[in-house]
Amino acid sequence: MDTHSINQINLLHPIARLDCTYAWTEVQAAMPENVIVQVGESLRSFERTDALYKLGRTVVNPDGKSAAKPMGNIVSWARAGTSWHNWGLAFDITMTTNGKEDWAIGPNWMKVVAIMKKHGWEWGGDFPKGKEDFPHFEKKYGQTLNGLMALHTAQKFIPGTNYV
């Protein structure tokens, strides 16, 4: 497996690391030779989540900025603590086909989706209409965002880690 994916998997919640390693090994083996898939971003800090939330709302996003849309595009619906990335239980993928970034939801992308779903991961492409997040995968392990936030507020970290 490539170093970037390994590093991102190692930032997942401890409960998800081995689980994701198995699934991702299967994903990479299923790709044709001209296609590279990587785990792009997994754990996201509260600070970065807030910064992304502000883009297009209270902070101008140059991407999508126009006279009709002076704040630019909104890129995130998640406030800090409300993204599964904040808890190390989500990751986004990138795909490169013939050396170029590839965001098309084609057959190879759907192969990734099928394998990850088989391993119990939910796909952002199944989110409600208008909120789909095609590169995104998450697994909840019976947790809720409120439950995780309560553990975090109570500082009930898994010993030796910053994860709850």
Q: Which residues bind Zn ion (CB under 5 A)?
A: 92, 136
Residue number, 8 or 28, with CB nearest to Zn ion: 8
Number of neighbours of residue 137 by Cβ within 10 angstroms:
26
Query: Residue 137 CB, nearest distance to Zn ion (Å)?
Result: 7
Residue number, 35 or 93, with CB nearest to Zn ion: 93
Angle between helices 107-118 and 14-30 (to 10 degrees): 140
- Measured CA to CA, the distance from residue 4 to residue 128 in angstroms comes to 30
Where residue 141 falls (left for φ over 0; alpha for ψ -120 to 50; beta otherwise) is left
Query: Residue 135 CB, nearest distance to Zn ion (Å)?
Result: 7
- Measured CA to CA, the distance from residue 150 to residue 154 in angstroms comes to 6
Query: Residue 85 CB, nearest distance to Zn ion (Å)?
Result: 6
Query: Residue 42 CB, nearest distance to Zn ion (Å)?
Result: 9
- Measured CA to CA, the distance from residue 21 to residue 43 in angstroms comes to 15
Residue number, 48 or 65, with CB nearest to Zn ion: 48
Residue number, 21 or 94, with CB nearest to Zn ion: 94
